């Protein structure tokens, strides 16, 4: 296991080439091509802004509802939805990556773990492309519309790459585990979409964990809660202190352990992939 894990750095050129191939294939035949990576999150955020401004009114924070969101709800939702989209897209694509690329798996010297990792990194590229759109809206509300209560603080923004790194490790571990198990249990791929939908509603993305229906002590058992809450506290909530840092670091440590366990399972099943696909 440790030998194969150490070989991953040697395959970085292969991973880069496969990620580029995946991105080109996704937009092949499209007039706008890679620009859709910027247009899709922009249109999504505009739609949310219009819907929750003119059609669905949410109560603002006041003396009667001190825990309600003060800023624009669409921006709050997008702070959690953008990383969630990366997470779910990566897992759904990674689950079937070994089956879809069965011709590569059957090559003796091809490193199978590269395929789920490519799925995670390709989805991460789209996440990165969506960040400028989110940043533009955050800056607009901070400097043009101060009544929106959006305040960005440099002391909190330095934590942003840490959150992304923790999510990358956790998502890669899940992708390796799911891809290796799906080769032998094809039902996993069909069940995964429904499970992720259920997981989405258990995670405070469309509602704030401060005023949501799930008690905080139950939310602490949800791994993605700590990622979503970290993104929201860094980008949306106006408090100066990033209060979720301890949970984020604990999540980072747990993600490393989980990644190693998932890679161990993947490595144990590696020899059976060629025959199973």
- Give 53-78 pLDDT, tens digit per residue: 666 665 444 434 444 566 777 788 88
Residue 19 lies in a domain: no
For residue 182, the enclosing domain spans 37-276
What pTM was estimated for this model as a whole?
0.87
Q: How far apart are CA 129 and CA 99, in angstroms?
A: 28
Is the pLDDT assigned to residue 121 strictly greater than 90?
yes
Q: How far apart are CA 164 and CA 198, in angstroms?
A: 23
Determine what percent of the chain is predicted with pLDDT higher than 90. 34
pLDDT the model gives residue 212:
72
Highest mean pLDDT (candidates 6-20, 62-76, 216-230): 216-230
Instruction: Count up the domains in the chain and report the number.
Output: 1
Residue-wise pLDDT for 234-263, tens only, equals 888 756 557 788 899 999 999 999 999 999
Residue 87 lies in a domain: yes
Q: How far apart are CA 272 and CA 232, in angstroms?
A: 42
pLDDT the model gives residue 70:
65
Residue 31 lies in a domain: no
Residue 171 lies in a domain: yes
Residue 231 lies in a domain: yes
Residue 69 lies in a domain: yes
Residue 24 lies in a domain: no
Structure tokens at 122: 């390709």
Residue 32 lies in a domain: no
Structure tokens at 233: 């506290």
Average pLDDT over residues 161-165: 95
Is the pLDDT assigned to residue 115 strictly greater than 60?
yes
Please work out, in degrees rounded to the nearest 5, the angle formed at the alpha carbon of residue 138 by the alpha carbons of 59 and 214: 45
- Give Cα separations from 117 to 12, 120, 135, 156 (angstroms): 11, 5, 27, 29
pLDDT the model gives residue 190:
86
């Amino acid at each position: 296991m440790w030998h194969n894990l150490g070989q991953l750095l040697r395959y970085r050129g292969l991973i880069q080439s496969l990620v580029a191939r995946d991105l080109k294939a996704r937009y092949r035949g499209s007039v706008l091509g890679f620009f859709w990576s910027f247009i899709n999150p922009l249109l999504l955020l505009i739609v949310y802004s219009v819907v929750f401004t003119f059609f669905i009114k949410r109560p603002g924070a006041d003396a009667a509802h001190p825990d309600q969101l003060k800023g624009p709800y669409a921006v709050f939702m997008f702070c959690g939805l953008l990383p969630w989209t990366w997470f779910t897209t990566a897992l759904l694509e990674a689950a079937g990556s070994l089956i879809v690329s069965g011709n590569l798996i059957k090559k003796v010297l091809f490193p199978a773990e590269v395929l789920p990792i490519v799925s995670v990194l390709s989805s991460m590229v789209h996440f990165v492309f969506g960040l400028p759109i989110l940043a533009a809206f955050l800056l607009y509300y901070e400097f043009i519309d101060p009544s929106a209560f959006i305040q960005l603080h440099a002391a909190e923004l330095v934590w942003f790459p840490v959150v992304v790194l923790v999510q990358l490790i956790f998502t890669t571990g899940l992708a390796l585990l799911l891809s290796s198990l799906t080769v032998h249990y094809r039902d996993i791929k069909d069940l995964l979409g429904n499970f992720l939908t259920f997981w989405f509603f258990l995670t405070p993305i469309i509602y704030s964990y401060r005023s949501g229906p799930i008690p905080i002590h139950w939310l602490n058992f949800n791994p993605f809660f700590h990622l979503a809450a970290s993104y929201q506290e860094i980008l949306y909530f106006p408090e100066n202190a990033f209060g979720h840092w301890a949970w984020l670091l604990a999540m980072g440590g747990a993600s490393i352990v989980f990644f190693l366990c998932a890679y161990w399972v993947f490595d144990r099943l590696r020899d059976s992939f060629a025959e199973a696909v």
